[in-house]
Structure 1
Amino acid sequence: LAQNSFDNEHLEKWELIGIGGFGHVFKVKHKKMGHDVAIKLLDMEGALFKEAKYLETSSSDYVLRIYGIYEGIPPFSKAKLQTKGIVTEFMRRGSIETLQKQLNCTPPVPLAFRLAHEVALGINFLHSMGILHRDLKPSNVMLSESLNVKLADFGLSTQSTSANTSNEEKAAHGGSLKYMPPEAFEANYTPSRSYDIYSFGILVWSIFTGEQPYKDALEFVVKMKVPEGQRPPLDQLFVENKEQLEELKTFICQCWEGEPSKRPTTKSMYSCNTFFSLHLRGKYQVIFNLKKKNKNKKQGLMSQYLFLIFLGMACTVGLSKV
């Protein structure tokens, strides 16, 4: 790997910010760089270098940037054992999941479209590099200071062996259960780009509703019902913008289609025509709705909403340049 090597010399103020199936993530102050970085300590060294390889290869505005590899003994370590980790840019605004918890409601429609659009651009880039993500979900979509998307957590990424979705490398069971396509529940399956397309459909549903799919469902129920065709409910999704978002509803259904071959291709998925047009049509209605919802909100939340309203207005300019 060509990245820089990091040790404890310039690192201070380790703060645990996340725990996942592959390890722990810390916010750490890098004194020489003058800002915070994120250090992900992985439980398995092989997984660490695999993820570092994907992050290094995936140099894009929509993929989390890697600074290098950490090797040392973290100050909190009781065992005093040498540990390795990945050093990446620190996303102060967290992830889409963080945003959902902060808002405690659906995001402004213009912002929701921009988030979905940029995730699609990130997926398209990964697929163009022959890489599958295989763990798309709100907590793995990081947000910059201006709420732009950065795809993260490539611990389950699988490198494609071909440009064809029908000829790709087999991989072990992976991904987050509620975002996995029905074919992934089979004992032996071949992961393909259509896996990410399905997950994207569920993710877009989550972005626009502010909810998690199958929130109260037990694991075995999800494994049984998803292959039978059950999906998150769409009936309450577009109550306020039904006419404007009908095209998006159709698009989501195409993405989470049970038959992989019937899902959109990567290129058609990231096509922005629908996102642009719906975003523009919904701008003023979004601002009106947010003002109405904010009447009974605490003053502490007002600054967040005002920022999002401003961002929603600005999106019409920013998106057209992507």
Structure 2
Amino acid sequence: MPPADGNRERLRPSLEGRKFSRYEILEPIGAGGMGEVYKARDLQLGRFVAVKTLRSSDEDSPEHARRLAREARFAASLDHPFICKVHDLVELETGETLLVMEYVEGRTLRAALEDGPLSQARAIRLATEVAEALEFAHAAGLMHRDMKPSNVMVTPNGHVKVMDFGIAKPDGPSEDSTTTTLTGSGRVVGTPAYMSPEQAKGRGVDKRTDIYSFGVMFYECLTGARPSTDGTTRWPDSTSVAPEVRQLVDQCLAPQPDARPESFSEIRARLEQAGAALASSTGLAPAGRRRRSLVGVAAIVLAVIAIVLLVVFKDQWMRTETATTVAVQKPVVTWPSAENGGRISPDGSTVAFVSDRDGHRLWVRSVSGTEPKPITPAREDLRTPVWSPDGRQIAYLFKNSGGAWLEIISVWGESAGPARAIDASWDNVLLVKWIGSHLYLLRPQGNADALWRIDQTDNSLARVTRPGASLLVTRESDVANLDISLDETTLVFASPNPPGDDLVTAALDEGTPAPLFKNSNGIRAV
């Protein structure tokens, strides 16, 4: 979370350098209607966090404090890539409350709009992600109630993080400050410029009030200004916006809640259609994370790791006429170091890889071309990252005291729990695949490698099978020489059988290995 758009002079650096609970306050980084925001260090988990002070006032009551804690706990239950994660709530003797949140690099959407309106494509892409975040929150039963550009962070890789669900608190009136606090008797929540009509009048509100505020923000992204408040949406002549996008914004800004779209699920779907239509008309691939160009993804895959899903027969290759395919390769990194273990996220949006730059670390980079970012501390050694099926987490092995340890981390660098020892030896311990709640890995078993499975529901580690033939896996790069079916019933692997190799399948329930191809030359990349 960066400085809050020119408010640094308003900070009271009284907390700087102090420790509260397990958090060490490092420096002030912003201020807003709720209080100051500090960068801090979580001494227990060794990560940076953002700490926001929630000021108390004479009118606050024990019931208000209890409500604040309850809402913060509810917000902490939201786990979504486009929502800023709430970690903790710390109450001070001074009456102030510290809200501990995910530390997000980037700048607010408010700061981005200071440069002028966004392009239609970018506005649609960011609005789609905000709509997805609010769709997720509404499905969990939580309204935002203060949706505005200053509550949306835009990360360096161009994605959003929606902040401050239900926790706004006043600190002086301004056009873009929250003027009232949490829901309570006689209290109204929101920022006047973004309030729905029913919200401004203090009437009962539902999820459609977030839709109105979203409409104001989306209009501002497209035009650089806020819409009029007389119930009629006027579009500047200089603004070029697709008719279907204008219609969606107009409906979101309808004075009557019943005239607005029914849900953010509907809004997201319509935005995705608008983004696809815009991309088709311009000849560009959609920028949204759901529609990555297959050609672009293929190029990145080739740049990270060459996986050829073929059994190569040398003699046939020499005799068969083949078509020539040309792919444009793009470097993932430009610095002089060694990289390995490259894996593409399930949605094709992000590359994860290991680099020995500044020690062995796990790095991620968006395929859109942003700079790589390390998400783990330096390790003695680190290898075989694998993505979770939903693309939100990465599991990897690292070397500790000569043995192999497993750790799972979010793509944003947050630990999913303590690391665990897997094997006393580091040699030939390799992660293979993540399917559902199961992580598959190889561990030495006698003179051969055995396939093991970690069940994350109970953290159990058990041997799955040891095929009758030796696996053709002797180093990290050979992990590509075996795979597991998505229904977790069948293993397929390359096995040495001089002078060639066999391609073998085996049931995971200790079934007899059955060769598919025997004695073929150079079977690789199953």
Q: Which runs of 5+ in 2 are unaligned?
A: 1-18, 57-64, 169-183, 285-365, 371-390, 393-526
Other structure's SS at 1:132 match: coil
Q: Deviations over 1:147-206 (max 9, x none)?
A: 21111112358xxxxxxxxxxx998322111111122233x5110111111111111111
Quote the offset at 1:137 in angstroms. 0.4
CA distance in 2, matches of 1:132, 1:50: 14
1:270 partner SS: helix
Structure 1 position 47, deviation (Å): 5.5
AA at the equivalent of 2:231: G
1:234 is displaced (CA, Å) by 1.0
User: Which secondary structure state, in structure 1, belongs to the residue aligned with residue 107 of structure 2?
Assistant: coil
Q: Compare CA radii of gyration and give the structure with the larger one.
A: 2
Deviations 1:269-288 (A, max 9, x none): 1212223322453576xxxx
Partner residue of 1:184 out of 181, 199, 203:
199
Determine the structure 1 residue equivalent to 2:49.
Answer: 37
Mapping 1:158-197, distance limit 5 Å: 172-186=187-201, 188-197=202-211
Amino acid corresponding to residue 54 of structure 2 in structure 1: L
Q: Which has the higher helix share?
A: 1
Q: Is the CA contact 1:198–1:256 (under 8 Å) kept in the aligned structure 2?
A: yes
d(CA) in 2 for partners of 1:252, 1:279: 19
Q: Does 1:201 align with 2:212?
A: no
Q: CA shift at 1:30, angstroms?
A: 3.9
Please tell me the residue identity of whatever aligns with 1:195: T
Distance 1:270 1:11, change over 3 A: same
Alignment of structure 1 residues 37-76 onto 2, 5 Å: 37-44=49-56, 45-46=65-66, 48-71=68-91
| Cα separation, partners in 2 of 1:9 and 1:117, compared to 1, 3 Å | closer
Match in the other structure for 1:94: 107
Match of 1:19 in 2: 32
* Structure 1 residue 236, shift from structure 2 partner: 3.4
CA distance in 2: counterparts of 1:190 and 1:133, whole angstroms: 14
| Matched position secondary structure for 1:257 | coil
Deviations 1:30-85 (Å, cap 9, x if unpaired)? 45544431101112434541441232122212211122223558xxxxxxx37431
Q: Which amino acid aligns with 1:275?
A: G
Evaluate the alpha carbon distance shift between residue 283 and residue 33 of structure 1 in structure 2; reply closer, same or farther with a 3 A threshold: farther
Determine if contact 1:72/1:84 at 8 Å carries over to the other structure: yes
SS in 2 for 1:145: coil
Q: 1:269 aligns with which of 267, 270, 282?
A: 267
Unaligned runs of 5+ in 1: 1-5, 74-80, 158-168, 215-224, 285-310, 316-320
Letter of the structure 2 residue corresponding to residue 234 of structure 1: W
For the 8 Å contact 2:23–2:40, the answer to whether it is kept is no
Q: TM-score, normalised by structure 2?
A: 0.42
Q: Is the 8 A contact 1:113 1:279 kept in 2?
A: no
Identity %: 24
Q: Which runs of 4+ in 1 moved over 3 A?
A: 29-35, 44-48, 70-73, 169-172, 279-284, 311-315
The structure-2 alpha-carbon separation of the partners of 1:194 and 1:71, relative to structure 1 and needing over 3 Å to count, comes to: closer
What is the alpha-carbon distance in structure 2 between the residues aligned to residue 278 and residue 72 of structure 1?
51
Amino acid at match of 1:208: L
Distance between the aligned counterparts of 2:119 and 2:369, measured in 1? 12
Structure 1: distance between partners of 2:131 and 2:255:
20
Tell me, yes or no, if structure 1 residue 247 matches structure 2 residue 263: no
Residue 145 of structure 1 pairs with residue 156 of structure 2: yes
CA distance in 1, matches of 2:185, 2:21: 38
After TM superposition, the score normalised by the length of structure 1 is 0.67
Report how far residue 8 of structure 1 moved. Answer: 5.5
CA deviations on 1:65-113 (whole Å, 9 max, x unpaired) are 122223558xxxxxxx374311111122121112223xx1222333221
Q: RCO higher in 1 or 2 (8 Å CA, sep ≥ 6)? A: 1
8 Å CA contact retained: 2:22, 2:44: no
CA distance in structure 1 between the aligned counterparts of 2:252 and 2:29, rounded to whole angstroms: 35
Higher strand share: 2
Letter in 2 for 1:249: R
Cα displacement (A) at 1:119:
0.6
- TM-fit CA distance, 1:314: 7.0
Task: Specify which of 118, 127, 131 is matched with residue 120 of structure 1.
Answer: 131
RMSD between aligned residues: 3.4
